[in-house]
């Protein structure tokens, strides 16, 4: 049964010792496609190299909001240049974060705006990180939507039902990570169950957020996306095989069948 992990950070040092085995284990578990996501110009370049090295691994390039303050002059141009490399299928991760205080909010907004405009210019989807700033994100998405249609994903979604609805109405996909498997996440599971079948995606966000029942394994990895898929399929009253096929088709439509 083929699965698509739409969000992993394979460049992270947690994977330095056994990256090839991690990718092989994902393969063995049926995870045929993985998108590895950059958070800075340097990690984006590493992600592009990993996409070249491993079959079934694609890259997203961008500057994550928590890294906006440390971006050097020229880093944005490096990210834009990386779009011409093979294996780059998305722009991000981008977005806004009010939980951590690593970058001034107006600087985060400036970078988020650049990613959205670049996505619209180049016809590549964006990947949005959102923490404690739902309304700020929606405001900027609405503004971008005035310019031209949007293509992208709300990654590791933890927002409200109303926000999920509005994102779907704007043409976006909604992706769920390990959090949706946690005992306390009843509300998030209800929201996930209501996302239309042609707009839902799955991800690990590895090495973070291990899903149940492997939550005790501190380092998450793409093979574990199968557990998140199983929990979501159960909640949605869909056979796992059908849910795997839906989420695979969705991810291919958004990321792979565009260029
Ligand atoms: Zn991420």
Dump pLDDT digits (tens) for 83-116. 999 999 999 999 999 989 888 999 999 999 999 9
Residue 176 pLDDT > 80, yes or no? yes
- Give residue 69 CA to ligand 1 midpoint distance, Å: 17
Residue 258 has pLDDT above 80, yes or no: no
Distance of CA 242 to the CA centre of its chain: 22
Sheet holding 3-8, edge to edge: 3-8, 31-37, 57-61, 88-97, 126-131, 152-154, 173-176, 200-202
pLDDT tens across 239-256, in order? 999 999 999 999 999 999
Confidence category of residue 186, pLDDT binned at 50, 70, 90: very high
Rg of the Cα trace of the chain? 17
Tell me the CA–centroid distance for residue 74 and ligand 1, in Å: 22
Nearest to 30 by CA among 252, 236, 245: 245
Q: How confident is the model at residue 69 (pLDDT cuts 50, 70, 90)?
A: confident
pLDDT at 207 over 90: yes
How far is ligand 1, taken at its centre, from the CA of residue 75, in Å? 19
Distance 94 CA to ligand 1 centre (A): 9
Residue in 138, 133, 64, 123 with CA at minimum distance from that of residue 88 = 123
> How far, in Å, from the CA of 249 to the mean position of ligand 1?
21
Q: What is the pLDDT of residue 121?
A: 97
Instruction: Record the tokens describing residue 242, joined without a space.
Output: 């059908």
Give pLDDT, residue 101. 86
pLDDT surpassing 90 at residue 151: yes
pLDDT tens string 118-127: 999 999 999 9
- Do 168 and 154 meet the contact criterion of CB atoms below 8 Å apart? no
Mean pLDDT of 135-161: 97
Task: Report how far residue 177's alpha carbon sits from residue 140's, in angstroms, rounded to the nearest whole number.
Answer: 24
Spacing, Cα 127 to ligand 1 middle (Å): 9
pLDDT classification of 234: cutoffs 50, 70, 90: very high
- Which residues face 129 on adjacent strands? 95
Q: Which two tokens stand for residue 189?
A: 């599971």
Neighbours of 217 (CB within 10 A): 11
- Report whether 39 contacts 68 (CB < 8 A): no
What's the CA-to-centroid distance between 177 and ligand 1, angstroms? 10
Full 3-state SS string of the chain:
CCEEEEEECCCCHHHCCCHHHHHHHHHHCCEEEEEEECCCHHHHHHHHHHHHHCCCEEEEECCCHHHCCCCCCCHHHHHHHHCCCCCEEEEEEEEEECCCCCCCHHHHHHHHHHHHHHHHHHCCCEEEEEECCHHHHHHHHHHHHHHCCCCEEECCCCCCHHHHHHHHHCCCEEEECHHHHCCCCHHHHHHHHHCCCCCEEECCCECCCCCCCCCCCCCCCHHHHHHHHHHHHHHHCCCHHHHHHHHHHHHHHHHHCCC
Give the separation between CA 30 and CA 25, rounded to whole angstroms. 9
pLDDT band at residue 259 using 50, 70 and 90 as cut-offs: low
Spacing, Cα 205 to ligand 1 middle (Å): 5
How far, in Å, from the CA of 152 to the mean position of ligand 1?
14
CA 47 to chain centre: 14
CA–CA separation, 127 and 173 (whole Å): 10
Distance 6 CA to ligand 1 centre (A): 10
Question: What is the CA(245)–ligand 1 centre distance, in A?
Answer: 23
Closest listed residue to residue 124, CA positions, set 79, 148, 91: 91
Q: What is the pLDDT of residues 17-67, one digit of tens each?
A: 999 999 999 999 999 999 999 999 999 999 999 999 999 999 999 999 999
The torsion angles phi and psi of 236, rounded to 5 degrees, stand at -90, 0
pLDDT at position 244 is 98
Ligand 1 centre to CA of 10 (Å) is: 10
How much distance in Å is there from the Cα of 204 to the middle of ligand 1? 9
Gap from CA of 39 to ligand 1 centroid (Å): 7
State the distance from the centre of ligand 1 to the C-alpha of 145, rounded, in angstroms: 23
């Amino acid at each position: 049964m083929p699965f698509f992990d739409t969000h992993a950070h394979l460049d992270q040092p947690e994977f330095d010792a056994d990256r090839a085995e991690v990718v092989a284990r994902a393969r063995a578990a049926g995870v045929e496609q993985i998108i590895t996501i950059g958070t800075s110009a340097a990690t984006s370049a590493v992600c592009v190299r990993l996409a070249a090295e491993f079959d079934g691994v694609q890259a997203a390039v961008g500057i994550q909001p928590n890294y906006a303050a440390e971006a050097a002059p020229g880093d944005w141009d490096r990210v834009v240049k990386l779009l011409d490399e093979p294996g780059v299928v998305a722009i991000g991760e981008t977005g806004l974060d009010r939980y951590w205080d690593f970058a001034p909010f107006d600087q985060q907004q400036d970078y988020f705006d650049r990613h959205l405009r670049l996505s619209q210019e180049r016809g590549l989807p964006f990947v949005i990180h959102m923490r404690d700033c739902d309304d700020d994100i929606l405001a900027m998405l609405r503004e971008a939507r005035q310019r031209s249609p949007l293509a992208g994903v709300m990654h590791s979604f933890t927002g409200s039902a109303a926000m999920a609805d509005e994102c779907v109405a704007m043409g976006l996909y909604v992706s769920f990570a390990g959090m949706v498997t946690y005992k306390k996440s009843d509300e998030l599971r209800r929201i996930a169950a209501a996302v239309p079948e042609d707009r839902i995606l799955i991800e690990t966000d590895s090495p973070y957020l291990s899903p149940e029942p492997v939550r005790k394994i501190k380092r998450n990895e793409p093979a574990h996306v199968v557990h998140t898929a199983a929990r979501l399929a159960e909640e949605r009253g869909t056979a796992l095989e059908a849910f795997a096929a839906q989420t695979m088709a969705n991810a291919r439509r958004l990321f792979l069948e565009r260029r």
